[in-house]
Amino acid sequence: MKKIYLDAGHGGADLGAVASGLYEKDLVLAVQQYIISFLSTHYQGFSLCTTRTTDVFLSLNERVNKANAWGADVYLSIHINSGGETGYEDFIYSKNINNQTIVLRNDIHDHVKFVLTKYNHSNRGRKLANHSVLRRSYMPSVLTEIGFIDTEHDAKLLKNPQFLKDMGVAYAKGVAQFLNLEPKSTNPLGDSDEEGCPKPTFLYKPLWIKTTEDTETYKDANMSERTGYLKKNTLFQVYGEARAAWVIDGQHFIEKKDTIIEGETITTAELTKENMETLKVFVTKEKLETAVTFSKEGAAVAIITLRDKKILNVKAFLDREKWWYKAERIKK
Ligand SMILES: [Zn+2]
Bridge partners, residue 235, by sequence: 210
Task: Please check whether residue 12 lies inside any domain of the structure.
Answer: yes
Task: Please check whether residue 173 lies inside any domain of the structure.
Answer: yes
Is the domain of 10 the same as that of 33?
Answer: yes
Dist. CA 83 → ligand 1 center (Å): 12
Dist. CA 16 → ligand 1 center (Å): 5
Residue pLDDT tens, the chain, 332 long: 899 999 999 999 999 999 988 999 999 999 999 999 999 988 999 999 999 988 999 999 999 999 999 999 999 999 999 999 999 999 999 988 888 999 999 999 999 999 999 999 999 999 999 999 999 999 999 999 999 999 999 999 999 999 999 999 999 999 999 999 988 864 444 444 444 556 677 777 788 999 999 999 998 888 888 988 899 999 888 878 888 999 886 678 999 999 999 999 999 988 888 898 999 999 999 999 888 888 776 678 899 999 999 999 999 899 888 888 888 888 76
Is the domain of 214 the same as that of 78?
Answer: no
Distance CA(182)–CA(194), nearest Å, equals 19
Is the domain of 211 the same as that of 223?
Answer: yes
Q: What is the CATH number of the domain that holds 276?
A: 3.30.70.2030
Active site residues: 145
Domains: count for the chain:
3
Is the domain of 159 the same as that of 291?
Answer: no
Task: Please check whether residue 50 lies inside any domain of the structure.
Answer: yes
Dist. CA 155 → ligand 1 center (Å): 15
Q: What is the CATH number of the domain that holds 108?
A: 3.40.630.40
Is the domain of 246 the same as that of 298?
Answer: no
- Find, among 315, 282, 292, 288, the residue nearest to 207 by Cα: 315
Is the domain of 210 the same as that of 127?
Answer: no
Is the domain of 246 the same as that of 279?
Answer: no
Model confidence over 239-266: pLDDT tens digits? 788 889 998 866 789 999 999 999 999 9
Is the domain of 230 the same as that of 284?
Answer: no
Q: Which domain holds residue 233?
A: 201-261
Q: DSSP states of 28-46 as a string?
A: HHHHHHHHHHHHHHHEESE
Is the domain of 128 the same as that of 275?
Answer: no
Model confidence over 194-242: pLDDT tens digits? 445 566 777 777 889 999 999 999 988 888 889 888 999 998 888 788 8
Dist. CA 43 → ligand 1 center (Å): 28
CB count, 10 Å around CB of 126? 15
Q: What is the CATH number of the domain that holds 228?
A: 2.30.30.40
Dist. CA 146 → ligand 1 center (Å): 10
Is the domain of 125 the same as that of 8?
Answer: yes
Taking the CA of residue 323 as centre, how many other CA atoms within 13 Å lie in the half-sphere pointing to its CB?
23
Q: Note residues around ion ligand 1 (Cβ under 5 angstroms).
A: 9, 16, 79
Is the domain of 93 the same as that of 140?
Answer: yes
Task: Please check whether residue 172 lies inside any domain of the structure.
Answer: yes
The answer to whether the predicted template modeling score (pTM) of the entire model surpasses 0.85 is no
Task: Please check whether residue 221 lies inside any domain of the structure.
Answer: yes
Distance CA(262)–CA(103), nearest Å, equals 41
Dist. CA 57 → ligand 1 center (Å): 12
- Average pLDDT score over the chain: 89
Distance CA(303)–CA(300), nearest Å, equals 10
